[in-house]
Amino acid sequence: MSHYILLCTYTDQGIRKIKDVPKRRAEAQEIGKKLGVEVKAGFSAMGAYDLILHVEAPSDDALSKWALSIASRGNIRTNTIKVYPAAEFDTIIAGIV
């Protein structure tokens, strides 16, 4: 599984309907189940981002489908970063020629 960090900001619509966040979170998790994407941790944040997610997905394609499905509802904008656990990064480093 690949790991991703999503840095999210609420849109104007997302703020106006902030009380719907629990329902939107459940919907995002259901969409994730269909695509093999799992939110491992989610944090509400103060500062440049409103929401920070740690997500696992079987592929970049699956993550892209999930993130676009969520963002297309108009409540958040996402900035996605693919990240590597230390052990996986060590394997990458070991293959440097």
Return phi, psi of residue 31, to 5°.
Answer: -60, -40
State pTM to two decimals: 0.90
Return phi, psi of residue 74, to 5°.
Answer: 90, 10
pLDDT in the model for residue 93: 95
Return d(Cα 64, Cα 70) in angstroms, integer: 10
Does CATH number 1.10.10.10 belong to domain 2-94?
no
Average pLDDT, the chain: 97
pLDDT in the model for residue 89: 95
Give pLDDT tens digits for 28-61. Answer: 999 999 999 999 999 999 999 999 999 999 999 9
pLDDT in the model for residue 70: 96
